[in-house]
Amino acid sequence: MKNRGLKFVVIITIMVSNFLVAQEKQPNIIFIYADDLGRGLLGTYGQKIISTPNIDKLASEGIRFDNAYGSYYCSPARASLITGMNDCRTDAYNVTQAGIYQKLDKGLTFDEIKERIHEVAMPAKKDDVFLAQVAKNAGYTTAEFGKLEWGFATTPERIERHGWDYHFGYYDHQRCHGFYPPFLFENGKKFDIPGNVFDDCGKHPEPESPENYKKRWDMTGKAVYSENIIMDKLLNYLDVQSEKETEQPFFVFFPSQLPHGPIAIPEVAAEFKNNPDLTELEKEYASMVKMLDDDVGRIYAKLEALDILDNTILVFSADNGHELYYQQPGETDKKRNVQTGEVYNNVSTKFYSDLSGDVFDGNNGMAGIKRSNWEGGVRVPLFWYWKGKIEPGVISTQLVNNYDFLNTLAEIVGAEPLKEKDAISYAKTLFGEKSVEKEYTVYASTLGPAIVTNDGWKLRYFLKKDVFQLYFLPDDYKESNELSSEYPEKTEALKQLLYKACGNNWRNGLGPNHVKPNKT
């Protein structure tokens, strides 16, 4: 009788435990995706000039991944992210040419533009599942704010097919290079912005000169800054979701324009205005990074105010490595050593911040910048924060890539992993357990493809010279010690892995094909 009573208590305890687990809410998830933000621009990586307390908070009170990779530039990064496929592939997506939406109602109708894009953009396969669909299939409502998700031109039909219930932002990547759009799009409808008049959204000329400075600060026809209106829409969306009677969780993707150039900011931040060590252009660029950090703080504060912070995961990352938008003749130059005037050959010489006059050291001391296959071109910040659920202060050296987010999300929301994807979930790592580690990551670039293994070996191919170079990153952070002649067997083994991962596309290494919807 005593044993029966004990069994009854155990059964009831298990039933209660299972009930509580079943009743636990699925977490809301907000993914903030910075644009061209080298990790060296953040305080958590030692940035001294620009303070980024809100982003740093996600790193220090969450988990920071120090071996996180993006792509070599904007569009492939987003395509890779939402398909869960590496950016060397040509069979998963292509990249449509930008600029066609500048012709909207000025030579082309909306329907004509969409038709031209659909003619050349690779359609989704019948069984393709995209990032937003992973969340949507698990019961989430999904929303995207800001820069278009991939391609250089898209349509509402493509955005809907990719699983977004709500969208507000740009449909054309070229228009994203200006910050004063006369119109954006909301759920497939044109959203006019009075006071902004420029077809190119007020894109400013580069590099710095007295004439370009004057054009930048002539605010005629530039009434509304895009980041501000996009943030207003995002924060309002959070208000609406919190007021719903149903407790449906949400997945929000916020691909910001910041701090992508050309440099544009409504006002220089107070902390930089009187800094004698910065040029005017550097002050403005620093203000763009500062605005991004402020907006992360606004999102955090909104979640607190709505009392949903405890059940919301915040993820912060970037699409690719650092880019240099504050070039000034004789002082800053991404293509050459400003001390000697030597042009980098990307074999024996390459970009480093101290050689090129980058006062911010945006690539965090690594070699290279955006579009290259050096580490500074593809390593990105990656932080996950969930108050009370993710242990604070953890720094992980696990090898991860932006395309791994898809199956990581799947595991968090309780969905089955998509085995046909390149994505490998690292969800268990977030919660102090052991995830399956990927053997390697690959990525494309304008210089050629590269592969990095989970123990730190890297092989890069330089298309122009038809040369392979081998590095061991744990002992060579700056990629200054080339080892292919010392380790020919390792070099050959990594070549074979690179061929396997990139398929027939390995030799050009440029990633997905580019197509032109604005050509007849």
Q: Walk along the chain (520 residues) and give the pLDDT tens digit of each residue.
A: 445 444 433 333 333 333 333 336 899 999 999 999 999 999 999 999 999 999 999 999 999 999 999 999 999 999 999 999 999 887 778 888 899 999 999 999 999 999 999 999 989 999 999 999 999 999 999 999 999 988 899 999 999 999 999 999 999 999 999 999 999 999 999 999 999 999 999 999 988 889 999 999 999 999 999 999 999 999 999 999 999 878 899 999 999 999 999 999 999 999 999 999 999 999 999 999 999 999 999 999 999 999 999 999 999 999 999 999 999 988 999 999 999 999 999 999 999 999 999 999 999 999 999 999 999 999 999 999 999 999 999 999 999 999 999 999 999 999 999 999 999 999 999 999 999 999 999 999 999 999 999 999 999 999 999 999 999 999 999 999 999 999 999 999 999 999 888 876 666 556 677 677 765 3
Which string of b and e fits 404-418 if b means at least 16 CB within 10 Å? Answer: bbbbbbbbbbebebb
What architecture (CATH level 2) is domain 29-438?
Answer: 3-Layer(aba) Sandwich (3.40)
What pLDDT shows up at residue 246?
Answer: 80
- Tell whether pTM > 0.85: yes
What pLDDT shows up at residue 501?
Answer: 85
Q: Give the bridge partners for 33, in sequence order.
A: 255, 317
Nearest to 227 by CA among 175, 265, 284, 261: 265
- DSSP element (H, E) containing 211: helix 210-216
Lookup: tokens for 252: 């929000």
What pLDDT shows up at residue 452?
Answer: 98
Domain locations in the chain?
A: 29-438, 440-512
Three-state SS for 185? strand
Q: From CA 43, how far away is CA 57, in angstroms rounded?
A: 10
Contacts of 341 (CB under 8 A, 6+ apart): none
Instruction: Report whether 414 contacts 519 (CB < 8 A).
Output: no
Reported in sequence order, the residue ranges of 463-513 that DSSP labels E, i.e. its strands, are 467-472
What pLDDT shows up at residue 510?
Answer: 60
Backbone φ and ψ for 11, nearest 5 degrees, come out as -60, -45
CATH number belonging to domain 440-512: 3.30.1120
What pLDDT shows up at residue 93?
Answer: 80
Residue with tokens 């102090």: 432
Lookup: tokens for 368: 């290279």
Three-state SS for 468? strand
Instruction: Report whether 463 contacts 509 (CB < 8 A).
Output: yes
What pLDDT shows up at residue 244?
Answer: 87
Three-state SS for 22? helix
Lookup: tokens for 44: 């958590």
DSSP strand pairing (68-69 vs 382-385) = unpaired
Backbone φ and ψ for 260, nearest 5 degrees, come out as -55, 140
Dihedral sign (CA 129, 135, 141, 145): negative
